[in-house]
Structure 1
Amino acid sequence: MMKRIVLALVATAALASPLRAQDALVTTKTLSPEVAQDCARAALAECRKRGFQVAVAVVDRAGIAQVMLRDRFAGAHTPTTATGKAWTAASFRTSTTDLSNISQPGMMQAGLRNLPGAVIIGGGLAIDAGGAMVGAIGVSGAPGGDADEACARAGIEAIRDKLDF
């Protein structure tokens, strides 16, 4: 009887060990540099079509910059702002417009506006694929966050067929 118990414990331990090793590692997906660049170029093209000179930044899922494009007459502040919007969208996994709406002065989430590096102005969107966030895009320089966001959305739509896996 004791042999069976020991054998059962050894078998259980042997089967459980690979499960623990697998749990120690996490697999993630992120945009390739080529797809990130396609996204940024499409957003820039959409803003140009609308007559706006902007900067566009695409970050990976951790908020690290992959691509930054600045149109020739976009303001000097736009690259930093676009990157900040993309970082904020990636960090919070939502649009910067939604964050702006829930963090107005006097609201419970108003403190979000004071977080270092957070740019809570419309124009930043998370990029989702296969049920996971794979990056984010930020646009700055159009007259208003809604116009920035429309260009960002056009960038995402331009790569949508590459993201559906």
Structure 2
Amino acid sequence: MKKFLAGLSIALVPFAGHAQDGDGAFVDTKILKPELALEMAVAAMEDCRQQGYQVGVAVVDRYGGLQAFIRDRFAGPHVEEIAPRKAWTAVSFRTDTLALDRETQPGTMSAGIRDSARALALGGGVPVVSGDGALVAGIGVSGAPGPDLDDACARAGIAAIEAEIAF
């Protein structure tokens, strides 16, 4: 057993210093507080509502886990699936889904992304980045009459909490 542990420790030595930040075995991350996730979702929904759109809004953490979801009273049932997928896609690919739509058109180098079961290259998903550049969440909006309008409402939600995350 001692020989096994000694061999294992020797085998692991080359990997010892490869934490993302280069210091030790742990990586510090930032995750949006659930209260702010909900505030952002409500602000996005209200922005769409003021324009006459009934939407669903999802906020996921930086790892794609659902933090908040809100659906306006007359939003279609599809928003419960689509909004979280848009938010997940935004954090997964670290880009807004309007841009991802353009970059993954048939015949492009990244077109295969559209074959993913969960990724959704349809505008309305936006990564949420703190003032120091850390990805802290993603927001997805679904239900407005166009993906560009979903995107605008998502950005309004981010703007509502911008002062809180601009550190």
TM-score by length of 2: 0.85
Deviation at 1:76, TM superposition (A): 0.6
**1:137 alignment partner, SS class:** strand
Could you report, residue by residue, the CA deviation over 1:6-35 in whole angstroms, capped at 9, with x for unpaired residues?
xxxxxxxxxxx9xx9942101100100011
**2:152 alignment partner, SS class:** helix
Corresponding position of 2:122:
121
Give the alignment partner of residue 135 of structure 1, picking from 117, 137, 144. Answer: 137
Corresponding position of 1:112:
113
> RMSD of the alignment, in Å?
1.7
Distance 1:22 1:107, change over 3 A: closer
Corresponding position of 1:78:
79
Deviation at 1:116, TM superposition (A): 1.7
**2:68 alignment partner, SS class:** strand
Corresponding position of 1:91:
92
Deviation at 1:161, TM superposition (A): 0.1
Corresponding position of 1:159:
161
Letter in 2 for 1:156: I
Corresponding position of 1:46:
47
Letter in 2 for 1:71: D
In terms of fraction of residues, the more helix-rich structure is 1
Corresponding position of 1:69:
70
Provide the rounded CA distance (Å) in 1 between the counterparts of 2:105 and 2:133: 29
Provide the rounded CA distance (Å) in 2 between the counterparts of 1:22 and 1:96: 33
How many residue pairs were aligned?
A: 148
Identity, in percent, stands at 52
Letter in 2 for 1:163: I
Deviation at 1:108, TM superposition (A): 1.3
Deviation at 1:37, TM superposition (A): 0.6
Provide the rounded CA distance (Å) in 1 between the counterparts of 2:120 and 2:75: 18
Could you report, residue by residue, the CA deviation over 1:30-50 in whole angstroms, capped at 9, with x for unpaired residues?
100011011001000000000
**2:31 alignment partner, SS class:** coil
Give the unaligned 5+ runs of structure 1. 1-16
**1:23 alignment partner, SS class:** coil
Provide the rounded CA distance (Å) in 1 between the counterparts of 2:88 and 2:24: 28
TM-score by length of 1: 0.86
**Structure 1 consecutive aligned stretches of length 4 or more whose deviation exceeds 4 Å:** none
